[in-house]
Amino acid sequence: MEVEGLQEGSGVPETDLSSYDLNEIWDLIQVTSYFPKMQTKPTTKKTKAHSKKKSFIAWIMVAIALTGGMVLYYRQYPSPGTRRELSVNGIFAD
């Protein structure tokens, strides 16, 4: 402030201090107090490749789970007639 030639409480010329909203001024002071912290805080960005790798692995896990469920279902009910009966009962269950 001193470099700019400003003094604390100098305000805007030809404006008295009662025209300022004290809550807004306090909010501005609080916000500006975080600027140095934001500049010095190290940022960690995840690369898109890492995100795509996780997404790909998630899709593989879902595919394995669905395939495993289908295999277990067909092993437990090998007869097409039994599977059909289960499907019809499941649809019309009250």
Scan for tokens 């995100």, then name that residue.
51
Q: What is the pTM of this model?
A: 0.38
Q: What is the pLDDT along the chain (94 residues), one digit of tens a residue?
A: 567 666 666 566 666 666 667 788 788 888 877 777 666 666 666 666 677 888 899 999 999 999 999 999 889 888 888 878 888 877 887 5
Residues 6+ apart with CB under 8 A from 8: 1
CB atoms under 10 Å from CB of 11, counted, come to 13
Instruction: Provide the pLDDT for residue 69.
Output: 93
Scan for tokens 């279902």, then name that residue.
73
